[in-house]
Chains A and B, each alone.
Chain A
Amino acid sequence: MKQLAFFVDAAACSGCKTCQMACKDKHDLPVGQLWRRVYEVAGGGWEARGAAWMSSVIAYHLSVGCNHCERPICVEVCPSGATRKREDGIVLIDGDRCLGCGYCRWACPYGAPQYDERRGVMGKCHLCYDEIDAGRPPICVSACPMRALEVGELADLRSLHGAVADTYPLPEQGHTSPALVIKPHPGATMTDQAALSIINREEVGREGR
């Protein structure tokens, strides 16, 4: 089966948010809606040794859109059937059918669905299916100054980059089987995950409802 997927090189991601902005520009999203969000993660701390400061701080950024999951919980729970999965794996919300009930947003563990106050409907990353259909990469992918984003067939991306998709702060893959491949930042693998936290909460929106 075909399943398009994102690859994110979190080791190279600078957190510049160009991807997020390119998406907002293309889809004309007002403040408050982030179809792509860049989480800033940090952990570790500081210790004084005489005059010296010893730092064990690590930090990295993770750019997340919708993962067009193989078992999309958003599709499962959506009452109206507005959310559906295409042949190529892209998960779409039909804005003309969506009730704006917010249920998918409760459920998606990636914070992907974003409520559009103006229209009273849910919106979310649709992997730029319009670009894909026209044979071009998604706008966020072609935007990245670090060339840290790619799109491709999930199986291909896995064979190239491995199968990691649950770097902190993302949940275990088991919930929805995201079509996502991450090259983790070394910081994410070095550190006790419990010591990590999202430190730019206000920039990525509150979780859930």
Chain B
Amino acid sequence: MKRGCPIDPGDLPNAVSRRTFVKWGAALGGSAAFAATSLAELEALAALLAHEASAGHTLKIRVGCPAHNCGGRCLLIAHIKDGVLTRLETDDRQPDRVADPQLRACVRGRAYRHRQDHPDRLRYPMRRTGKRGEGRFERISWDQALDQLAAELERVKSTYGNSALYIPYGTGSYNQLNGRQTAARLLNLFGGCLGSYNSYSWACISRATPTVYGTSVTGNQRQDWLNSKYILMWSWNPAEMRDGTNSEFFIKKARERGARVVCIDPRMSLSAVSLADEWIPIRPGTDVAMMAAMAYVMITEKLIDREFIRRCCVGFDSTQMPVGAEGEESFEDYILGSRDGVAKTPRWAEAITSVPGETIARIAREYATIKPGVLYQGYGMQRRAYGEQAVRAGCVLAAITGNVGVSGGWASGLGLQADDGGPFWNVFPAGDNPVPARIPVFLWTEAVLHGKDMGPEHGVREVERLDNDIKLLWAVASNTLVNQHANINRTTKILQDESLVETIVVQDQFLTPSGRFADLLLPVCTQFEMWGLEDGWKYGDEVIVMPQLLPPAYESKSDYQICREVARRLGLEDAYSEGRDEKGWVAWALGRYRDTRFPELPSLEQMEDENRGVFSVPVTEARVAFADFRRDPQRQPLPTPSGKIEIFSKQLFDLGNDEVPPVPKYIQEWESPFGPEARKHPLQVIGHHYMGRVHSTHANVDWLREAFPQRVFINPIDAQARGLVDGDMVRVFNDRGTVMLPCRITPRIMPGVVDIPQGAWWQPDEAGIDRGGSVNTLTSERWTPYAFGNAQHTIMADVEKA
């Protein structure tokens, strides 16, 4: 990497080990327990910091980046001087190699000081004074706040039962001791609450992948991409959303080793620019048409891997239909049009996708012949109307080209990293929920409005019908109450109605759009102000510790501490804490990793002593998903009903739902440029995941707003038709709402499509127009037919000069 670089980036000089530092503190009569929670401990910490100030040292502490739910997990080196965070550097471990690359922070990690020291940090517990959503609050004491929260939990439980309590989806923290899991653990001890499944991220891909493979663990370890000759980045933008720290770097390395990379996306994304040899703009929501046409070319030009299909798949053609579905339309039938009379030719697909037919044919030939190849599916195209179909179709292409179970190949689908039997993401034990009922996370507004009408047709699991509507929302590390959920104008109306949800509690670091609707608003410390731990986002072979750097600002507390103090009031403290503070749980969690994925993982003390920050396992030989299955499908069957790759899914066939066909099909979206709705609102709107934010987190950080301002990105052709010049203030509107923000005219988005990066804070003016530019002012609450997932990228709207 450092070719031509005469400078050898040495180790951290002057790095004062944090434990040494703590030991001085102990010697000074302070407490060695650094998770300052009690007043005495806080004072001890202040004494430590004062001592450190007098010593004039700059402490350099390796710490995991407060990742929120960012798509990466990186290492920072925090400089602390005189009790102030003065600088953030990133991973400096040497050497920086593919097997164990540095976990280099992104732009948000490097800007974190301006989130940490933001003047708008929530300082005190507050109680609502005005009407819901007005955003008027009064300061109260922690005792008042915690008493009120405990009392509300008791009240709702005794009035309605535990299933009226709900902790909405929220991804603000996965540092184990901050985040919604801390509240989940408490409510589970409290008799449970309405449960949930799915995510806003992966609803379709995590539900549809198993319909093909029986599992979502379909990915090789990423280092294996370097063995690939051809990589299709389909709706995938790792340069911006990372998808595991270093994914973009691995693709760069794969290219250096000769892989050809093609990116298929309506936008010329950062990845299309920096990682791809070719960009293919495609009309949003039409990917399955292109995939079908690719299959058509492969089948008619005999480019498919017949032998692999015969050994490992079912339902490809009429010769291998599952029992009970003999004579039904096979995948080949659909592609060739033998039943519906429509051959899925490139020409057919061109009219739908806007991709030239010859390009589709060429990509089909390339992917089928340049082997091994990766067809990597990003999640943007499954956060759409029939997101399930795109997932299944991608998997089928991987299968019929025989790219499954081989090094350098990729099975598609969710692609969770080939299993090593370990825990991932959340180690903190939330416990078992005594309330069995679970709803898909995206349908929480339905459960508020008419929970008792909800059953399997709404994706309800484990029970026939819900026995309650949601009466108490406890949002921890979540902005899904308003900003991240679809159709904000609808959601806020629901929340305003105090006869529906009776109590709303929000725990956050800022007064977010969701926080505005809180009855009780609790200030949470940042992840720099407490102990924590994280591992990779989706991928990664490391554990990163997050030592407490600073005392909690103002009166803020960790989510764990808040829950613990509520537990005390509910008589559950011992069961809740098991006697551990945050740091104790971190040590406990490290034990879990040591027992499973990483036997070599050192103790927390050792990691502190060495100021290590991260423990990682070099990947010298990347694991390959389905290698065993490919070798011997009889003896190593997949966990599908047939034991094979289900190109035709009997499970889905049995549903008898046209919107969930047993073979993947192109289905026109419910809001589409081909529908009558396009006459009124002719532009497709996507809201991609933006570099300057993690969803709505960081939306208020000045440095990041400077680097990545919130704009609606529009093609010059569409701009010209509307008389727009770059920078004009515009209105983007449909029947659900209107946002107002400046436009950026760019050829990097295809005509007919505009992009309003998701996550900007909703800021309604008196007329209800959103001046913050939150794309969810425009999105629809309609869910996908099989996964009950969010389709927030499927929107039609129009743009006009404001």
Contacts and interface: CB of A to CB of B under 8 A. Distances in A.
Whether A and B touch directly in their complex, counting CB atoms under 8 A apart, is answered as yes
A61 B274 contact: yes
Interface in B357-381: 357
Interface in A101-147: 132, 134-137, 139, 141-147
A25 interface: yes
Given A14-B239, A25-B111, A146-B252, A31 B6 contact: no
A181 to B, nearest CB: 9
B240 A137 contact: no
Interface stretch (B83-91, B156-164, B434-442, B626-634): B83-91
Interface string A134-165: 11110101111111001111001100110000
B273 interface: yes
Nearest to B352: A51
Contacts of A26: 87, 89
B183 to A, nearest CB: 33
Contacts of A139: 89
B568 interface: no
A170 interface: no
Interface string B729-759: 0000000000000001111101100000000
B766 interface: no
A46 B273 contact: no
Q: What is the size category of the interface that chain B forms with chain A? A: 35 or more
Contacts of B635: none
Given A49-B356, A55-B750, A147-B96, A60 B7 contact: no
Given A135-B8, A143-B90, A21 B703 contact: yes
B231 interface: no
Nearest to B691: A16
Interface string A173-193: 000000000000101000000
Contact of B273 (A61, A137, A141, A151): A61
Contacts of A51: 350-352, 354
A147 B707 contact: no
A162 to B, nearest CB: 12
Interface string B74-114: 00000000000001111010001000000011110011010
Contacts of A144: 104
B13 interface: yes
Main secondary structure on A side of the interface with B: mixed
B107 A21 contact: yes
Interface string B2-33: 11111111100100000000000000000000
Interface stretch (B219-227, B467-475, B606-614, B709-717): B709-717
A75 B239 CA distance: 38
B107 A150 contact: no
Nearest to B283: A53
A199 B113 CA distance: 29
Contacts of A156: 4, 6
A13 interface: yes
Contacts of B197: none
A203 interface: yes
A17 B273 contact: no
Contacts of B745: 199
Contact of B707 (A17, A142, A145): A17
Given A46-B717, A146-B249, A18 B273 contact: no
A134 B106 contact: no
B727 interface: yes
A194 interface: no
Nearest to B705: A31
A29 B356 CA distance: 47
Contact of A17 (B4, B8, B708, B746): B708
B7 A151 contact: yes
Interface in B259-275: 268, 270-271, 273-275
Nearest to B111: A21
Interface in B304-358: 350-352, 354-357
B4 A160 contact: yes
Given A50-B350, A139-B89, A150-B4, A14 B716 contact: no
A26 to B, nearest CB: 6
A11, A136, A157: most-surrounded residue (chain B CB, <10 A):
A136
Contact of A42 (B5, B89, B727, B746): B746
A143 B104 contact: yes
B301 interface: no
A139 to B, nearest CB: 7
A1 interface: no
B578 interface: no
B107 A18 contact: yes
A46 B747 contact: yes
Given A150-B3, A202-B727, A25 B88 contact: yes
Contacts of A200: 744
Contact of A135 (B7, B104, B245, B352): B7
A45 B747 contact: yes
Contacts of A134: 13
Contacts of B744: 199-200
B281 interface: yes
Contacts of B270: 14-16
A16 B6 contact: no
Contact of A153 (B6, B279, B355, B709): B6
Interface of A: 7, 11-18, 20-22, 24-26, 31-32, 42-46, 48-55, 57, 59-61, 132, 134-137, 139, 141-147, 150-153, 156-157, 160-161, 185, 187, 199-200, 202-203
Given A14-B274, A151-B7, 4 more contacts: A49-B356, A137-B9, A146-B249, A156-B4
Interface of B: 1-10, 13, 87-90, 92, 96, 104-107, 110-111, 113, 239-240, 245-246, 248-249, 252, 268, 270-271, 273-275, 279, 281, 350-352, 354-357, 691, 702-709, 715-717, 726-727, 744-748, 750-751
- Kindly list the 5 A-B residue pairs having the minimum CB-CB distance in the complex, ordered from nearest: A14-B239, A14-B274, A152-B4, A21-B110, A51-B351
10 contacts: A11-B274, A14-B248, A17-B107, A21-B107, A51-B350, A57-B268, A132-B7, A136-B7, A146-B274, A152-B6
